[in-house]
Amino acid sequence: MITTLQAERTYHVTGDNPQSIQEDLDSAVELVRQQAMEERRHGILVTRLGTASFIVTLSDQVPYGTTQESCHIETLQR
């Protein structure tokens, strides 16, 4: 499932099986890529928040023409 957090710039992708997650990630990246190509200033950042949760965003921290991945999974410490 793709949830829009900021139109054309940031999407939250979640799912319950790897195939649907990958399809939704591909769709979200394409939506952000279209905006990146219009602006020609920012790249795409895909951040993993959990096993089935990702944020895809247009980022000024990523060079134009580049897609970077990041992982921000919080683990429980005992």
Report the number of distinct structural domains present in the chain.
1
Containing structural domain, residue 30:
2-71
Residue 61 resides in a domain: yes
pTM (2 decimals)? Answer: 0.89
Domain assignment of residue 45, yes or no: yes
* Residue 77 domain-assigned (yes or no): no
4-63 pLDDT, tens digit per residue, is 999 889 999 999 999 999 999 999 999 999 999 999 999 999 999 998 999 999 999 999
Which pLDDT score is estimated for 73? Answer: 82
56 in any annotated domain = yes
Residue 18 located in a structural domain? yes
In-domain check, residue 14: yes
Give the mean pLDDT of 57-72. 96
DSSP character string of 1-68: -EEEEETTTEEEEE-SSHHHHHHHHHHHHHHHHHHHHHH-S-EEEEEEEETTEEEEEEETTS-TT-EE
